[in-house]
Structure 1
Amino acid sequence: MTDTILHINASARRQGSVTRDLTAKVVAGHPNARVIARDLAEAPLPQLTEDWVAANFIPADARTKAQNDTLALSDTLVAELQAADTLVIGLPVYNFGVPAALKAWVDLIGRAGVTFRYTENGPEGLLTGKRAIVALASGGTEADSAIDFATPYIKHVLGFMGITDVTVVAADQMAQNAEASLEKATAQIAELARAA
């Protein structure tokens, strides 16, 4: 059976983007995979609206056509996520956090009863059995440091939805030594490809 990769790019830069280059290398290491590409800069996602929130909290079988239309893009994004065996996410660190484009994607897929649910024992992710490879790049922020709010955020969000197998490939602190940082990340990607 062919694996399916959901390839998400969030960098505002179309040219010279480190995360775009890294995610392309990760995907290339899985030549037999079916790839669903979602470019959040090329096709920006909308912010949540009052109508969206209202429609989301109405049971699916009670929604009007207009409410279903309001949720249609979210439904498509969730379907892409559900179909994927592996997520490959480009995560440039902007101002110590995730890009707004990626946050918009998270807002549209984080749906109670769809990608997670609340139980007597607390929240439960509904997207188990998947893995994620996050390609991070930063100018000055060290990955997993006290000022890195992007890495713990994306790990928490994915884990909340049931995706707990998360590998971070970090080309961090590029402003200090870009060559060494890229070499480290590229070596890690090569190791992931060998393991695959």
Structure 2
Amino acid sequence: MRLLNIESSPRGSRSASIAVTSAFIEAYRQACPWVIVDTLNVWEEMLPDFDQEAIGAKYKGVSKEPMDRAESAIWDKIQELAVRFQQADRIVLGVPMWNFAYPYKLKQLIDLASQRNMLFTYDGIEYGPLLKTPRAFVVYARGGTYEEDSPTPASRFDHQKRYIDFWLKFIGVKEVHTLVVDGTTWGGKKKGEEKVALGREEARKLAADF
């Protein structure tokens, strides 16, 4: 059993999303002691920019054309990242909300790893998933709250959960389990700590059936 743990917050021990996903993984290790956890922190992974060389490598890789040295190095990294997804039996992902969406480094990982014939297929008409990952668990951490009757209703302001849930299913995750931990900063430090503590407790419960 191999679990890919994706950390997308740069805040380390101060991160709400990492605190909750860590609690989940600790509990999951107890339920599944043979699990191998592969942690991918997008801020420490030295992800290559998705620049001219990366785009050139992408199109040459799909069409199997020769690459120059810079393109080959980036393509090797792209394939390495894709393999980590391909090998995962489970995926755990912590996502803090940035500007009502998600950190740009997480999008960088998605843009690099999500390549045709690696994580998905496209025959010119339809897309298809390539992963066969049974489950993913995603923690969505938000500083504020987004009830529909609030000044920031989720239907208008939440551009975090919908895309990440869609992407995971697009690449082939069968079930996406989610936990939203909100109000981590807007209500003050004490209230935020209480929200994170509740999130950690709920995460431990959810780990039992993962």
Q: TM-score, normalised by structure 2?
A: 0.83
Is 2:194 the counterpart of 1:191? no
Is 2:74 the counterpart of 1:74? no
Q: Secondary structure at the match of 2:14?
A: coil
Matched AA of 1:145: A
Aligned mates of 2:50, 2:181 — CA distance in 1:
31
Instruction: Give the Å deviation of 1:61.
Output: 4.5
Aligned mates of 1:13, 1:88 — CA distance in 2:
18
Counterpart in the other structure of 2:48 = 46
Counterpart in the other structure of 2:181 = 171
The structure 1 residue matched to 2:170, chosen from 153, 156, 160, is 160
Matched AA of 1:150: Q
Compared CA separation, residues 64 and 166, structure 1 to 2 (3 A): same
Instruction: Give the Å deviation of 1:142.
Output: 2.8
Compared CA separation, residues 75 and 140, structure 1 to 2 (3 A): same
Aligned mates of 2:46, 2:103 — CA distance in 1:
12
Counterpart in the other structure of 1:112 = 116
Aligned mates of 1:64, 1:41 — CA distance in 2:
27
The structure 1 residue matched to 2:57, chosen from 52, 55, 58, is 55
- State whether residues 142 and 173 of structure 1, in contact with CA within 8 Å, keep that contact through their aligned partners in structure 2: no
Matched AA of 1:169: L
Aligned mates of 2:154, 2:195 — CA distance in 1:
16
- State whether residues 78 and 109 of structure 1, in contact with CA within 8 Å, keep that contact through their aligned partners in structure 2: yes
Q: List 4+ stretches of structure 1 deviating above 6 A.
A: none
Aligned mates of 1:71, 1:120 — CA distance in 2:
23
Aligned mates of 1:110, 1:124 — CA distance in 2:
12
Aligned mates of 2:66, 2:84 — CA distance in 1:
22
Counterpart in the other structure of 1:98 = 102
Length, aligned pairs only: 194
Determine which structure has more spread, i.e. the larger CA radius of gyration. 2
Q: TM-score, normalised by structure 1?
A: 0.88
**Identity, % of aligned positions:** 24
The structure 2 residue matched to 1:123, chosen from 114, 119, 127, is 127
- State whether residues 90 and 136 of structure 2, in contact with CA within 8 Å, keep that contact through their aligned partners in structure 1: yes
Compared CA separation, residues 150 and 76, structure 1 to 2 (3 A): same
Is 2:195 the counterpart of 1:181? yes
Instruction: Give the Å deviation of 1:166.
Output: 0.8
- Gaps of at least 5 residues in structure 2 are 148-152
Q: Which moved more, 1:91-100 or 1:37-46?
A: 37-46
- State whether residues 138 and 176 of structure 2, in contact with CA within 8 Å, keep that contact through their aligned partners in structure 1: yes
Aligned mates of 2:78, 2:2 — CA distance in 1:
19
Q: Secondary structure at the match of 2:133?
A: coil
- State whether residues 55 and 63 of structure 1, in contact with CA within 8 Å, keep that contact through their aligned partners in structure 2: no
Deviations 1:53-73 (A, max 9, x none): 122122474333623322111
Compared CA separation, residues 62 and 119, structure 1 to 2 (3 A): closer
- State whether residues 88 and 133 of structure 2, in contact with CA within 8 Å, keep that contact through their aligned partners in structure 1: no
Instruction: Give the Å deviation of 1:29.
Output: 1.8
Counterpart in the other structure of 2:159 = 149
Instruction: Give the Å deviation of 1:178.
Output: 2.5
- Gaps of at least 5 residues in structure 1 are none
